[in-house]
Amino acid sequence: MRSMRLMAMAGVLLGLAVAGCSNSSSTTSAQFAASSTPATPGVIKLVQSSVSGNRVVLDVLLFGPEPALDLYASRFGIRIADPSMVRFVPQATYVQSALVASDGQTILIDVDGSDPSLVVVGTAKQGGGAGNGFTSPAAVVIELSFEILGTGGTTLSFSGVDGNPPQALDSARQPLQGVRFDTLGASIAAVRTGGGGY
């Protein structure tokens, strides 16, 4: 009789152990895929800077080198195809390296994420004077954070603002010839890891 009780208890403990293994926790993390557009001088595209959990930090990169460029301002949107899958995460300050202030100049950065499906970005020099170029392989127009929601995914693509196409402007506030925004979309998706049973 005692041996039967011990066997029954062992069976219960084994069942609990198996249940615990089969219900182990899983985590969701963000995965970014850039477009297939080549990173040639003058191209502006979305590139991953870092990823942590369900959040990904993206750089809007202007590829170079472009030492003779008269870059003074930029204005564009980033369209989130499905805002129920990905949301923009506002920051107190924003990183950029494309605009370099000379004497008497300051840099103005305006990021508006009030529309869940569109992040509007404006960067510009203030104080007159000339624009600038750069000799590095790429310059950061703006750095932005996005967070994956749920288990799906969506695309991010450049968009025009106020009836104008996405633009990089020179010191005369005219579109810069030779600077091209990527016309292909990038994607962010949720990837689940763990949670496998035995």
Q: Is the peptide bond before 165 cis (omega within 30 degrees of 0)?
A: no
Burial class of residue 40, CB neighbours in 10 A (0-12, 13-18, 19+): exposed
Say how many domains are in the chain. 1
Q: What is the mean pLDDT of the chain?
A: 89
Identify the pLDDT of residue 27: 85
Output the pLDDT for position 26. Answer: 75
pLDDT tens readout for residues 27-55: 889 999 999 999 999 999 999 999 999 99
Residue 172 is part of a domain; what is its CATH number?
Answer: 2.60.40.680
pLDDT band at 178 (very low <50, low <70, confident <90, very high): very high
pLDDT in tens, 59-117: 999 999 999 999 999 999 999 999 999 999 999 999 999 999 999 999 999 999 999 99
Please name which of 13, 17, 12, 51 lies closest in space to residue 34, comparing C-alpha atoms.
Answer: 51
The pLDDT of residue 145: 98
Q: Output the pLDDT for position 62.
A: 98
Task: Note the pLDDT of residue 16.
Answer: 37
**With pLDDT > 90 as the criterion, what percentage of the chain qualifies?**
81
pLDDT of residue 24: 52
Residue 5: predicted pLDDT: 42
Secondary structure of residue 5 in the 3-state scheme? helix
Q: Tell me what pLDDT residue 3 has.
A: 44
| Domain housing 157 | 27-191
pLDDT tens readout for residues 14-26: 343 444 444 457 7
Region 138-153 average pLDDT: 95
Q: Judge whether 113 lies within some domain.
A: yes
Q: What pLDDT is stored for residue 193 in this prediction?
A: 78
Write out the two tokens for 148: 């994956």
Q: Give domain status of residue 150, yes or no.
A: yes
Q: Is residue 19 part of a domain?
A: no
In a domain, 8, yes or no: no
pLDDT of residue 133: 98
* Rounded distance between C-alpha atoms, residue 53 and residue 190, angstroms: 10
- Determine the pLDDT at residue 104: 96
Neighbours of 39 (CB within 10 A): 14
Q: What pLDDT does 10 receive?
A: 41
Q: Using the predicted structure, report yes or no on whether residue 4 has a pLDDT greater than 70.
A: no
Residue 20 falls within a domain, yes or no? no
